[in-house]
Structure 1
Amino acid sequence: MGRFTEGEIIQLPQASARKQKPGPGRSSTGLITGTRVFALWSENQHYFSAVVQRRENDRYWVRFDEDDSEALVPLAHMRLCAKLEAGDTIILKSDTVQISKIMTDGSLAIEENLTVNDIIISAWIIDAQWEDRKLTHEEINCADGA
């Protein structure tokens, strides 16, 4: 997995986005802008990677990487992608992985090149492991510049 820096604003080429349409959150150079977060998709209680689009009072419109859908998410239900840590529990969207090493205790090591788009995090995991990583409004940059 690539390294992230705390507070980093991720800019990906438009070609890496699932849909190739211009719109909010896309600069004229084709880059996705705004703070990259894991945001709660309330329909299934899982956090998915998204880009913050704009603020509406104390909540934020985010665009999910998965399908370019948008949702209005409270700040309390977002975490910076840059705050992933070794030991965090994640769910991989892919169910096929390759074992890279078998440990002496019988556990398996899996080494994959992943992006935040490959990761889902259950809400209970966020509650258990990410409580100390809550965001403030000052840490959020909106794609619309507001």
Structure 2
Amino acid sequence: MNDETDIAISALPELLPARLEFETISEIPLSVIAPAGVSSFGSELADGMPDWSKIPFIVPEAGTARERANYWFKKMRIKPNIYAQVSGHEAIVSMVALGCGVGIAPEVVIVNSPVRDKIQRLKLEPIKPFKLGVVCKRSNLDNQLLSAFWKVAEKVYIQP
């Protein structure tokens, strides 16, 4: 929006400004993860109906993943005990692996994390995935190079 870049890869926000164009290239599921090993809240998680107020959560600081997490908390009627809000999804996975709390992170980050063997996915109500795509100002599509790139992006994602 500030003309700092011609095109970017971004999650689709709930409200896309009218001046922007977005083309989906992938859908990214989110997972609720917990440490695979011993943690101070492990016995609480093992209970069929844990008291979520006793379990620390590590969540994204902002963005679409945070919006999805907040919506999920509301839907599940969880008032989260937020231990940390971090700007990088990789940090969420690492902090969970260290036993700091339960986290919400994009599946692609979890799968590619060097600590993926130290976390487990909790089987809970799913969190709505978000769309990942390319975004640019609509006026930028007049540029031949960007227009050509856009046409390639349009062919990448096939709706499931």
Output the TM-score relative to the length of structure 2.
0.21
1 or 2, which has the higher helix percentage? 2
**Bigger-Rg structure (1/2):** 2
Q: Which has the higher contact order (CA 8 A, sep 6+)?
A: 2
